[in-house]
Amino acid sequence: MSGIVNQTGSRSGVIGTTVGTPTTSASGWIHIATKSISGASNITINQSDHASIFSSSYPLYMVTMNDYSDLASGDSLRLRYEYNGSIQSSTYGYHYTASGINASASSTGNSTSTSDIQLAGDDTQASSGGNRIGHLVLYINEPDHNTRQLVQWRMVHHAGAGGDAHGVHGVGVYDGASYPVTGLYFFTNGGNNFTATFKVFGLSG
């Protein structure tokens, strides 16, 4: 597979990583790295992008995603944890609540034992022209600890080619074991390609 810039190895569709310049003297949210995807169905953000990602460097991390576009009908954005270089694919739990411009689109979703964390509803499709985009803000606390780390998120996305807009908030956990989280793996449940730009920040001070 090809397409990575600024990393060792290759992965189709991943455009590359822009590394921030964290400083220990600064306070607030410190930008660590930016990574984009286009023409691929998954992306992993981990310590190969920057050594201080999901480490003891910061007690709280924020991952943002913008310019999200997925033209495949019925897709939804999903999340898995990476532990020591291995993506885990079982024993996740999550709960989300979604509200839409159309009242009939409001929904909830949850599972106590599943293969991933569902970040949005069953359809995060953009318009056929690709001019409708979504965004995400996700937090993970103390990822270097040997605990069952929680994630909390909010996401706004379009649903279907007609342009309905949804707002989602939720919480998720990996409950299979207790290890440090070394990365986050984002993908679509239908295996379809999407585009997005991810940024990772650590809270300092």
**Across 64-76, average pLDDT:** 79
Please give the model's pTM, rounded to 2 decimal places: 0.82
Size of the chain in residues: 205
Most confident option among 48-57, 124-133, 150-159: 48-57
Query: Which residues make Cβ contacts (< 8 Å) with residue 131, sequence separation at least 6?
Result: none
Q: Under a CB-based contact definition with an 8 Å cutoff, are residues 13 and 23 in contact?
A: no
pLDDT score for 43: 97
Query: Which residues make Cβ contacts (< 8 Å) with residue 104, sequence separation at least 6?
Result: none
Q: Answer left, alpha or beta for residue 91, where phi above 0 means left and psi between -120 and 50 means alpha.
A: left
Q: Under a CB-based contact definition with an 8 Å cutoff, are residues 196 and 37 in contact?
A: yes
pLDDT tens, residue by residue, 137-167: 999 998 988 878 899 999 987 766 566 777 8
Residue of 128 and 3 predicted with greater confidence: 128
**Across 70-74, average pLDDT:** 68
pLDDT score for 67: 85
Q: Is pLDDT at 130 greater than 60 in this prediction?
A: no
Query: Rounded mean pLDDT of the chain?
Result: 81
The single residue listed with the structure tokens 């709280």 is: 60
CA 88 to chain centre: 15
Residue of 54 and 122 predicted with greater confidence: 54
Query: Which residues make Cβ contacts (< 8 Å) with residue 160, sequence separation at least 6?
Result: 73, 123, 125
pLDDT score for 5: 34
Confidence grade of residue 94 (pLDDT, cut at 50, 70, 90): very high
Residue 144 half-sphere exposure toward CB, CA atoms < 13 A:
13
Percentage of the chain with pLDDT > 90?
42
pLDDT tens, residue by residue, 113-127: 899 999 987 666 555
Q: Is pLDDT at 88 greater than 80 in this prediction?
A: yes
